[in-house]
Amino acid sequence: MKRITDNKFILLSALFCAGLFALLWGTGMVLFPHAFSPLNLLLLFLGAFLAILVAVFLFRQRFNRHLYRLAYADLLTGIANANYFEEEGTRRRRAAAPHGLCVVSTDISHFSTINDSYGRQMGDDIIL
């Protein structure tokens, strides 16, 4: 289930529409549709342009977060993967150069045997 904060675009669009309607109501364009003056049209097009910019920004931000998760997180567990470890390890090694750095690694030997014997779903359940 998605949280309402995951849909920032929908919230901003609703706020924009409410603000645009209030603007149009205040200028009389809602009550008197023949009142399309050049200023009102300019405000309408400016509002539409800003809404498109906000939508593009939000979609791009969401897409970049998705790409980051694909590149630096394991799809099954959601924890950091080898790519993240390599970049973060390099950064921390440089930062801790005078003091040194200790890295501990672990591995499950022959884990593929579990996947082969009991199926991939059982292996995923064991990891999680």
Higher-confidence residue: 68 or 41?
A: 68
pLDDT in tens, 88-122: 888 888 887 777 777 777 777 788 888 888 888 88
From residue 55, alpha-carbon distances to 43, 49, 60, 61, 80 in Å are: 18, 10, 8, 10, 30
DSSP state for residue 79 in the 8-state scheme: S
pLDDT-derived band at 79, boundaries 50, 70, 90: confident
